[in-house]
Amino acid sequence: MKVAIIGQGYVGLTISAFAGETCEVVGFDSNSRIVRHLNQGLSHVEGVESDQLRKLIKHGNYRATNNGSDISDAHIVVIAVPTPLTKDRKPDLGFIDAACKTIGENIKKPALVINESTSFPGTLRNYIKPAIEKYSQEKIEHLYAISPERVDPGRSDFNQKNTPRLYSGLTPEASEKTKAFYSKFCDNLVEVSSPEVAEAAKLFENTFRQVNIALVNEFAQIAHTLGISVYETLDAANTKPYGFMKFTPSAGVGGHCIPVDPTYLAAVAEEHGAPATFIRRANEVNLEMSKYVVDRVQADNSGLLEGKSVLVVGVAYKPNVADVRETAAELVIEHLRQRGAVVSWHDEVVGSWNGERSTPLSGADIAVVVTKHDVVKVRDILESAPYVFDTTGKVPGAKGL
Which active-site residues does the annotation give? 257
Q: How far apart are CA 14 and CA 223, in angstroms?
A: 40
Q: How far apart are CA 63 and CA 334, in angstroms?
A: 41
DSSP for 46-77, written as a single string? TTS-HHHHHHHHHTTSEEEE--GGGGTT-SEE
CA dihedral over 318, 321, 323, 324, signed as positive or negative: positive
Residue 11 C-beta: closest distance to ligand NAD, Å? 3
Footprint of ligand NAD (CB under 6 A): 6-12, 28-31, 34, 80-83, 95, 98-99, 102, 116-118, 149-151, 153, 256-257
Q: Which residue is nearest to ligand NAD (CB)?
A: 9
Residue 249 or 262: the one with the smaller Cβ distance to ligand NAD is: 262
Residue 50 C-beta: closest distance to ligand NAD, Å? 16
Residue 258 or 310: the one with the smaller Cβ distance to ligand NAD is: 258
C-alpha pair distances (Å), 323 with each of 227, 255, 349: 35, 7, 9
DSSP for 92-132, written as a single string? --HHHHHHHHHHHHH--S--EEEE-S---TTHIIIIIHHHH
Q: How buried is residue 354: exposed, middle or buried, by Cβ count under 10 Å (0-12/13-18/19+)? A: exposed
Q: How far apart are CA 247 and CA 304, in angstroms?
A: 32
Measured in degrees and rounded to the nearest 5, phi and psi for residue 310 equal -120, 130
Residue 28 or 62: the one with the smaller Cβ distance to ligand NAD is: 28
Residue 145 or 367: the one with the smaller Cβ distance to ligand NAD is: 145
Cβ count near 394 (within 10 Å): 18
Residue 16 or 175: the one with the smaller Cβ distance to ligand NAD is: 16
Residue 294 C-beta: closest distance to ligand NAD, Å? 28
| 3-state DSSP assignment of residue 334 | helix
Residue 52 C-beta: closest distance to ligand NAD, Å? 17
